[in-house]
A and B are shown apart, each in its own frame.
Chain A
């Protein structure tokens, strides 16, 4: 186990400066942390992972494990484990030999191998197939074996997962993810888990690292990502549907969207005025928009209502801009072509140039 530190690490596959797959960055992966690396396909998350494991040497910057520079070290020297998107097995070996392979290559003793393989097989419920040849098994078992090979060494610096549950059925996904979480709790490995599935990321990790276009746009707990997205991309990418974003201007204590005034918190409005904002946007989650009832609210024109089971998803127009709102079913039917909505100021985020405008008392805010 180790603290992994990225110093100005950047990578460009073509070697050109303006063609970064991974923008130069500084990042510290805490020892024993469970991280999820979340982002759409092609955002550079696999590149970041391969730099971590040493399969890829970054074109600039340095990587260190516990203060020791490992930038030029091979994956085997770094003593790192990695599980890939698709099962990688040694077809001609039995399941037991597959699991034992990483230990045997490092000259572990027979008794140690037998003990570790038994432990991992128990954790992943592979005991029944240990003596079988790996090639004849189903995709799920194969991927479990691949994961087992990642977990079998107990002295690894970190275990990296590159979308390991892609080939697994949804039901089993839950189970495997839970098993992984338990394993993490028990052994305290540093885990980095790459995924483009937000549910997977939010349920698995303590810290979620959101990436977009080769950059880390926010690192935080699942709650922080949901409540205070630091980048419009995070707001849009996390949540279903994503955050509403409305271009606005500041006038006094209010944000003005297409002539309609939305009250803000005082410190928020002043922070927005102070930062010389350009392309200012107001963001609010569909979950946090409320029906105003009889109070003075915003008058929106309903354009679509979708039944989602537990709630209704209402799409309404504020001026020319679409706003999505989640409304609980116990609210009863919605009447008329218009809807009266309230945007609670404590849930409003303001973005300048796609980045969150921080307000002075940000730290005390929240529920």
Chain B
């Protein structure tokens, strides 16, 4: 096909957008790529060291430890929030006077800023004065202190994430459930389907689209978690709740190791990109392919 145009000046119209993207995204990104191959003492004093930073990232405990904790955290959070969110959505009223109030209450945690969530939980979970912490320690008589105990700290950050983000999954699933035509439920009743079968064969397949979005969003958000856990545990005790973003911040701003941090950052970015892509491919293929022969 002949697609040649005599006058190509229309491309000039794309120029402002190209420049904008170039200065706001491409140049900073290339700066990071540039740093990642150097050892940077100061902006005037740096030296090219090649792949060494990447080699270090892939072999030292600092990076792999944070990545391992990050994967574990995201895994736990997804395993709890997705089923819990669906369960909450199933119990939400779809008609009547209570729809409005319930939606507002469910959406409320999403409106709270990240570090405020952290602050709320820092106090709420304190063993001496926090309602939750004091209850666990003094009524349930379980030794719980997120500043000292690793399990306590993990329990706190996971619970906080569930409190903050299950609403997102619930709202998305709720929207998906509301869009299922009534005839499907009527047909299920006529066909004698149990509640479980109705969920398994009608609701869940119809929720596939919104759940893909929910899982992707929750994966990306939880994989980048920063302010919430930092405010409560500061990454401790030790490094037990130091996740990727905090490790990166510590490396770049704490140790002034820009080159190393840049390499970590690039790897981190590639991991998110790769996992999101795999998620997307897998979740959009499941159920749509022509099964059987």
Are A and B part of the same complex? yes
Q: A residues within 8 Å of B by Cβ?
A: 50, 53, 55, 74-76, 80-82, 84-86, 88, 90-94, 101-102, 105-106, 131-133, 135-136, 146, 149
Q: Hey, what's the 0/1 contact readout for B166-204 against A, CB within 8 Å counting as 1? A: 000000000000000101101101111110010001101
- Contact-residue bracket for chain B: 20 to 34
Closest 10 CB pairs between A and B? A76-B192, A105-B192, A88-B187, A131-B292, A102-B191, A133-B291, A92-B205, A90-B201, A84-B183, A91-B205
8 new A-B contacts, CB < 8 A, other than A75-B186, A94-B292, A131-B292, are A75-B189, A82-B190, A88-B186, A91-B206, A105-B197, A133-B290, A133-B291, A149-B187
How far, in Å, is A91 (CB) from chain B's closest CB? 5
In the complex, the answer to whether A81 meets B190 with C-beta atoms within 8 Å is: yes
A-side contacts of B190, CB under 8 Å = 53, 55, 75-76, 80-82, 102
CB-contacts of B188-242 with A (<8 A): 189-194, 197, 201-202, 204-206
Assembly CA distance A86 to B184 (angstroms): 10
User: Contacting A74 at CB < 8 Å: which of B189, B287, B292?
Assistant: B189
Assembly CA distance A120 to B186 (angstroms): 22
In the complex, the answer to whether A149 meets B201 with C-beta atoms within 8 Å is: no
Assembly CA distance A29 to B152 (angstroms): 68
In the complex, the answer to whether A92 meets B201 with C-beta atoms within 8 Å is: yes
Q: Is B60 an interface residue (CB 8 A)?
A: no
Q: Is B293 an interface residue (CB 8 A)?
A: yes
How far, in Å, is B207 (CB) from chain A's closest CB? 11
User: Contacting A136 at CB < 8 Å: which of B189, B205, B290?
Assistant: B290
Nearest CB to that of A152 among chain B residues?
A: B191
**Of B187, B189, B201, B206, which is in contact with the most chain A CB atoms at under 10 Å from its CB?**
B187
Q: Is B91 an interface residue (CB 8 A)?
A: no
**Of B192, B202, B205, B293, which is in contact with the most chain A CB atoms at under 10 Å from its CB?**
B192
Assembly CA distance A82 to B192 (angstroms): 12
User: Contacting A93 at CB < 8 Å: which of B186, B187, B201, B289?
Assistant: B201
In the complex, the answer to whether B291 meets A94 with C-beta atoms within 8 Å is: yes
Q: Hey, what's the 0/1 contact readout for B272-293 against A, CB within 8 Å counting as 1? A: 0000000000000001111111
How far, in Å, is B74 (CB) from chain A's closest CB? 27
B-side contacts of A135, CB under 8 Å = 287-288
In the complex, the answer to whether A84 meets B186 with C-beta atoms within 8 Å is: yes
A-side contacts of B184, CB under 8 Å = 88
Nearest CB to that of A146 among chain B residues?
A: B187
A-side contacts of B290, CB under 8 Å = 132-133, 136
In the complex, the answer to whether A131 meets B293 with C-beta atoms within 8 Å is: yes
A-side contacts of B205, CB under 8 Å = 90-92
**9 interchain pairs (CB within 8 A)?**
A74-B189, A76-B191, A81-B190, A92-B201, A101-B191, A102-B190, A102-B192, A136-B290, A149-B191
Assembly CA distance A131 to B193 (angstroms): 22
In the complex, the answer to whether A90 meets B202 with C-beta atoms within 8 Å is: yes
A-side contacts of B202, CB under 8 Å = 90
How far, in Å, is A76 (CB) from chain B's closest CB? 4
Assembly CA distance A92 to B292 (angstroms): 12
Nearest CB to that of B193 among chain A residues?
A: A105
